[in-house]
Amino acid sequence: MNEIQHKFQLKLAVAASEMLSERVAHIVLTDDRPLPAMRPGQFVQVAVPDGGVLLRRPISIHDISEADNTLHLLVQTVGRGTHSIASVKQGDEMDLVLPLGNGFPDMTEGRVLLTGGGIGTAPLLYLGRRLKANGCEVTFLLGGRTAKDILRREEYEAVARVMTTTEDGSDGERGFVTDHSLLGREQFDAVMVCGPTPMMKAVARWASVPCYVSLENMMACGLGACLCCVQKNHEGHNVCVCTEGPVFNTNELEWK
């Protein structure tokens, strides 16, 4: 994880873009030249097309396909910025700064639980793919409000075992991911989580093994320059989520 990695500002072509659900777009980007190497858990800063919004928007790397030189993003429409991003069309150009942040730890063995809720599942696909290739035993535990929120299930299934929970019971076990029977049944060597803060905190409370979370603090630069995105660490110091994270071992955080 510590080799020097360069950042780029690139204009990438939209190879495909489709709405996976009412609120989530799957955007596939490509380029004539090989895309830079990226690590699971890193993110990109996307310039919002159409100019109605000033700052870039941070979006996780959902998947990378080296075979066809593509970068995949999942974007959930929240406000103006994500609405504009989600409406790009095949053939459009997008301006990205990448790759940013540190990723999840690059484990090479052991049983790893990858869990997330809603759009928070986005970074887990590429992460699972990588950990699997490294030799880990991977389990996905994906949560959503309802069945429709479990996105791109086949792709996750192609990588590893997939469990789900939904709040309304329409897919998998009813409840939150922390309610899943699996957690009482099996042991893991590490847990990696991405989702709403209350969910990540609940997972962290449950976990007795190293627990890694991916934070979504508001960002301006994404480069460690503006100090807007800080999180208090366990020593009470403000650290930049964009450069020292977005992934943290929960032990490093001052989390109540």
Partner 1 sequence: MTLKTTIGAMEMRNPVMTASGTFGYGVEYADLVPLDRLGAVIVKGTTLKAREGNDYPRMAETASGMLNCVGLQNKGVEHFAEHIYPAIKDIDTQMIVNVSGDSAETYALCAERIDSLEKIPAIELNISCPNVKHGGMAFGTDAKAAAEVVRAVRKAYHKTLIVKLSPNVTDITEIARAAEAEGADAVSLINTLMGMAIDAERRKLCLSIGTGGLSGPAVKPVALRMVYQTSRAVKIPVIGLGGISNATDAIEFMLAGASAIQIGTANFVNPHVGAEVADGIEDYMRRHKIGDIRDLVGALE
Ligand X SMILES: Cc1cc2nc3c(=O)[nH]c(=O)nc-3n(C[C@H](O)[C@H](O)[C@H](O)COP(=O)(O)OP(=O)(O)OC[C@H]3O[C@@H](n4cnc5c(N)ncnc54)[C@H](O)[C@@H]3O)c2cc1C
Task: Please state, in angstroms and rounded to a whole number, the distance separating the CA atoms of residues 98 and 93.
Answer: 15
Q: From residue 147, give the alpha-carbon distance in Å to each of 21, 150, 160.
A: 11, 6, 19
Could you say which residues in the range 50-69 bind partner 1, by CB under 8 A? 53-56
**Where do we find the tokens 């060597």?**
189
List the structure tokens of 202. 């609940």
The answer to whether 228 contacts partner 1 (rule: CB under 8 A) is yes
Distance CA 124, CA 86 (A): 20
Q: Does 80 bind a copy of itself (CB under 8 A)?
A: yes
User: In whole angstroms, how close is the CB of 228 to ligand FMN at the nearest point?
Assistant: 6
- CB nearer a copy of itself, residue 41 or residue 81: 81
Tell the smallest beta-carbon distance from residue 185 to ligand X (Å).
30
Stretch that binds a copy of itself, among 25-33, 46-54, 105-113, 238-246 (CB under 8 A): 46-54
Q: Taken in order 245, 251, 254, 256, is the CA torsion positive or negative?
A: positive
CA 83, 118, 140, 1 torsion-angle sign: positive
DSSP 36: P
Q: Single out the residue of 2, 32, 34, 51 in contact with a copy of itself (rule: CB under 8 A).
A: 51
CA distance 205 to 208: 8
Interface pattern 91-120 for partner 1 (x via CB under 8 A): ------x-----------------------
Both tokens assigned to 88: 């790009």
Range 102-141, binding ligand X (CB under 6 A): 119, 122
Residue 143, helix vs strand vs coil = strand
Q: Is 228 in the site for ligand FMN (CB under 6 A)?
A: yes
Which two tokens mark 227?
């100090």
Is the Cβ of residue 67 or residue 218 nearer to partner 1 in the bound state? 218
Does residue 219 bind ligand FES (CB under 6 A)?
Answer: yes
Footprint of ligand X (CB under 6 A): 43, 53, 55, 57-60, 74-76, 78-82, 119, 122, 216-219, 246
Footprint of partner 1 (CB under 8 A): 6-9, 47, 53-56, 97, 217-218, 220-232, 236-238
